Amino acid sequence: MSTENERALEDGIVTDLTGRMTYGSYLALDQLLTAQHPVSSPEHHDEMLFIIQHQTTELWLKQLLHELSSARRLLASDDLREALKRVARVKKIQDVMTQQWSVLATLTPTEYAQFRGALGNSSGFQSVQYRAVEFALGNKNERMLGVFRDHPENLALLTAEWEKPTLYDEFLRYASRRGLPVPAEILERDVRLPYRETPALVPAIREIYLNPQQHWDLYEACEDLVDLEDNFQFWRFRHLKTVTRTIGMKVGTGGSSGAGFLQRALELTFFPELYTVRTEIGS
Ligand code: HEM
Ligand SMILES: N[C@@H](CC(=O)c1ccccc1NC=O)C(=O)O
């Protein structure tokens, strides 16, 4: 151990950054770190945590959309292996997002009640990126577009997502090109509608699960999609549990019933046939 207990800076380290790209300029930190604007007055200590938790979630949602869009393009160009790399990253990001609830769970109902009133009618329900991720995964809902009528850029982003095939649509189109019997009603479906379970698809999925050696990459892909749906439900569940411990059964600032409304999202499924097939495997 050096007696000074101070690390010497090496001569090669650049310290005059005038006119150069820097850490802060590259990452636009001047903007990022001045974008926290608590609205409680006097400012409540815990509102900063509330803002940071949402902002970090929005950053991860941006990355999820980036990965999911790429995964769909890769599937459309028959590159399943690379598409699955994207999905692997999506799964890791979901893990972080779900873990992150434990930070917000340190916010007590007493603390939250002290600045909740300042939030007005704002609500996570109005998160355009969250809605775009739901759409990308198949939970389309035309009525959600209306929420963004006051914000043309958000409306354009979500409308574009609404009109795009979902990750499952692209996967099933790819499986069809690989020779699996994906019914025409799926290949030709109106992709702006929520994905609904189609019994005629189950034989194609069953074929993959009963003969994994012949369809190994598709088999892996199906399991990755199930992981992704599981992870999505874990996030929803932690949200519901955080909400219940913080506001109990109060109605939401966005105007919904609150916990009951969030509970009903847990009944939704993105990839129904991937679950149905499990009932049919073995005895
Ligand atoms: C104490 C913290 C939180 C509470 C009490 C809470 C409460 C609620 C409630 C009651 C709703 C239903 C809509 C409404 O009427 O407002 C909702 C929806 C939502 N919240 Fe939160 N929330 C919290 C934290 C978060 C965080 C950190 C995020 C991350 C971005 C988030 C994202 C969402 C989303 C995306 C929805 C829409 C869910 C859907 O449509 O199924 N919430 N929240
Ligand atoms: N809906 C929450 C308020 C809330 O959580 C919130 C408020 C503004 C921005 C994001 C929020 N997060 C999730 O809904 C409530 O009813 O307390």
Nearest-CA neighbor of 225 among 279, 272, 177? 272
Tell me which of 177 and 283 has the higher pLDDT: 177
pTM to 2 decimal places: 0.97
182: pLDDT strictly greater than 90: yes
Amino acid 3: pLDDT? 81
Amino acid 79: pLDDT? 98
93 marked as binding residue: no
**What is the ipTM, given to two decimal places?**
0.98
Phi, psi of 178 (to 5 degrees): -80, 0
Separation CA 196–CA 269 (nearest Å): 9
> What would the pLDDT profile of 12-52 be if each residue is shown by its tens digit?
999 999 999 999 999 999 999 999 999 999 999 999 999 99
> What would the pLDDT profile of 190-241 be if each residue is shown by its tens digit?
999 999 999 999 999 999 999 999 999 999 999 999 999 999 999 999 999 9
273: buried, middle or exposed (CB in 10 Å: 19+, 13-18, 0-12)? buried
What H or E segment, with its residue span, contains residue 130?
helix 128-137
∠ CA 37-43-45, rounded to 5°: 95
Give the mutation target among 97, 243, 251, 266 for probing the ligand 1 site: most ligand atoms within 8 A of CB. Answer: 243
- Looking at the CA of 122, which ligand is closest? 2
Domain ranges of the chain: 44-114, 122-164, 166-232+257-283
On whether the CB atoms of residues 208 and 215 are closer than 8 A, the answer is yes
Does the CA dihedral 143-146-148-151 come out positive or negative? positive
DSSP 35: -
Shortest-distance Cα residue to atom 34 of ligand 1: 124
Residue 222: CA atoms inside 13 Å, Cβ hemisphere, count? 23
Letter string b/e over residues 6-32, b meaning 16 or more CB atoms within 10 A of that residue's CB: eeeeeeeeeeeeeeeeeeeeeeeeeee
Q: How far is CA 121 from each of CA 45, 117, 176, 178, rounded to the nearest angstrom?
A: 21, 9, 45, 49
Amino acid 283: pLDDT? 76
Q: How far is the CA of 206 from the centre of ligand 1 (A)?
A: 37
- Looking at the CA of 117, which ligand is closest? 2
- Identify the band that residue 282 occupies on the pLDDT scale cut at 50, 70 and 90: confident
> What would the pLDDT profile of 50-106 be if each residue is shown by its tens digit?
999 999 999 999 999 999 999 999 999 999 999 999 999 999 999 999 999 999 999
